[in-house]
Chains A and B, each alone.
Chain A
């Protein structure tokens, strides 16, 4: 950054406290026009709070902001947008039942009439290589397409600062490349980009500046291209990272066979599962990759027994379990941990003891003649807490009081401690801090080493490459044939995930 040019946005000493936690503690950042500035940090480091303050969603307790030389204190997102700040959210900002143009209009301050807006959406989306049909209902779009809606919504306002919160978590590698081309084009045109991510390699390839947050404070400003990913990770975590140990696994006989599994989607929006087939052997980890919304939840539900399928489609140890519910499948050794921790894998308002009963009744014999043995249930919950280092005052605490990482350790621990023969997990480390993620991955590897078959469904390709023996891609409800992970490249995986979904790179200078 040249000294002569003042920064576009200067954030100085911003603090924000929530009950029991100081989310931001004197955070200062400077972002110049045309800069692609990375905001790095673990979950809970304060990244979201910081950008919400810049976007006017949260008001800081203290500190100042200066945008383009003028004091900047947006009272709400309307104010931020009027000042030229736009934001692409990770979740929660699209309306599935409304069409693309309506979604875009909702994110603009003074949208033109819908017909004109549709024409502009077409024009801008073509210019940036992100084709979009303004009349389509957002619920019918793929995750990548939905993100295009968010980006187009921002671009139509010609922002001076574009905030992007974890934009690549739902994209295939090819889509990421195209997004990056778009962002580089925007930066070249003078737009500043504040880019939040925890994917270090991406940041090293895209960003020219990085601010690293830990525990609500800025711990470093640096040029990410001058650092290794490992160095950045240690700055984020503040400790040495342990690598997972995947030694000592031998795959045995087939324990679970899925053949020609078809299933209509549970939600109104989403693809159906189409003839999904694979075999899982004892001692192996099968990774199923793919962008969320391609049938992952339905696949998990059909394996866990929440949604029984047609006869012969799911065969466990030679027995057809397709039509059985979750508890009979648990009795036979097939266990699962769904993606949504609060509300699906665990009941938010119930204690950890009660949540242990949720899945543990059959294999842990927590009931006698239908009556719950609360003493045994408490003991089981305590055992999970101890074995998986779940940070909580005790088993009487409600599930919703736990942090994401701790609750996920509890959920995974609850299933692993029931000694499953097959365990299916969906997004086991999503939104979990690095230390907890490492512990969860190790638990899954240890389980496989002990002779169980493990299926890991994940959007995180790095994770799947790290722990799985074989890899298959789930795209639009179809599963690609599993292949040995060791022989795969990231490019090949990307293509099996549906490639760029019809996007093309932005025409530079367009």
Chain B
């Protein structure tokens, strides 16, 4: 902490805070980036919380049983993707209501993860190593903030960049956006609306699962029932906050991570504010952010994909 010694404000080490911010933001960033792709394809999957918690237990179990955190992240992503495909089967093939099905996915995921997790309580997962970035890590201030993290932190940022490039520069990204804007037109031009959406959902589920696995393998790191504690819902809110744009989703996730870390630090610093009231802060801030951004959308152009949440059934 020596380097940041001069950066202490009100009993809080700002450098450590900024470093923690990146770690705290990563699960939500991953989940929100995944959901962004699903929503860009026109599907509103409210089951992010359920996919995340399944990723958390799937990843935890995978890592503990194999002894490798990397295997854990893979099994976490697969768990999330399977949940997403279940949602996809119900909403895209059986044409069920997306809002209700998303809720069901969350309730189901919370229950199933608790059931699977029974045997994993109190177990410590294998540690996920930090990446050695050599001289960069020794930079004053920037070193501890930016360059002393594990690979998943950098992967999540790379994923945002990849999603941005995919959406804006690739033909597949154009088709995905087209499906999300107007599924009838996309169908009339011969694009496979349901297939595109299932693919987008699976990606979203894998990203959410990865985010969940990061919670249980790195951020906490252990398994507890219901450990996502609304992170999936916050990821949904961040997609709205980010106006369905990858770069703003990144900003939103980091802002949120900042608030979370700050309130945890305030709790630790022993201010005379009740812990429970500080714990409300992330949720209250999310509501405030949602309100501000929704009010702006009202007066500007529509940011949400036009076909978001609508059921597609190819008739004649």
Binding site for B on A (CB under 8 A): 18, 23, 48-49, 52, 56-58, 76-78, 80-81, 89, 92-98, 102, 105-107, 111, 268
Contact = CB atoms under 8 A, between A and B. Distances in A.
B302 interface: yes
Q: What's the dominant secondary structure at chain B's contact region?
A: helix
A122 B228 CA distance: 52
B281 interface: no
A385 B177 CA distance: 44
Interface string B163-187: 0000000010011011001101111
B273 interface: no
Contacts of A57: 187-188, 190
Contacts of B302: 97, 268
Contacts of B191: 106
B182 A92 contact: yes
B258 to A, nearest CB: 31
Given A92-B182, A92-B185, A94-B182, A56 B190 contact: yes
Contact of A18 (B171, B187, B316): B316
Identify the interface centre among A58, A81, A98: most chain B CB within 10 Å of its CB: A98
A94 B178 CA distance: 9
A97 B178 CA distance: 9
Given A57-B190, A89-B188, A92-B188, A98 B301 contact: no
Contact of B177 (A77, A92, A98): A98
Pick the 7 closest A-B CB pairs, nearest first. A77-B190, A92-B184, A95-B181, A93-B185, A76-B190, A268-B302, A78-B190
A94 B188 contact: no
Contact of B185 (A18, A49, A78, A95): A95
A50 to B, nearest CB: 12
A177 B177 CA distance: 35
Contact of B316 (A49, A56, A80, A89): A49
A81 B184 CA distance: 18
Given A77-B189, A93-B185, 5 more contacts: A18-B316, A57-B187, A77-B188, A92-B182, A111-B171
B311 interface: no
Identify the interface centre among A96, A102, A106: most chain B CB within 10 Å of its CB: A106
B306 interface: yes
A156 to B, nearest CB: 14
Interface residues of B, number: 20
Contacts of A107: 189
Contacts, number: 60
Contact of A106 (B175, B184, B305, B316): B175
Contact of B181 (A48, A52, A96): A96
Nearest to A97: B181
Contacts of A78: 190
B178 A106 contact: yes
Interface string B181-218: 11011111111000000000000000000000000000
A151 to B, nearest CB: 15
A23 B191 CA distance: 24
A111 B316 CA distance: 28
Nearest to A58: B316
Interface string B272-313: 000000000000000000000000000001100110000000
Contacts of A95: 177-178, 181-182, 185-186
Contacts of B306: 96-97
Contacts of A23: 316
Nearest to B184: A92
A105 B174 contact: yes
A48 B316 CA distance: 9
A49 B302 CA distance: 34
Contact of A98 (B171, B181, B187): B181
Contacts of B305: 97
10 contacts: A76-B190, A81-B190, A89-B185, A89-B188, A93-B185, A93-B188, A93-B189, A95-B185, A97-B302, A102-B178
Nearest to A95: B181
Contacts of A96: 181-182, 306
A97 B181 CA distance: 7
A67 to B, nearest CB: 17
Nearest to A49: B316
A105 B188 contact: no
Nearest to A57: B188
A367 B62 CA distance: 63
Contacts of B187: 57
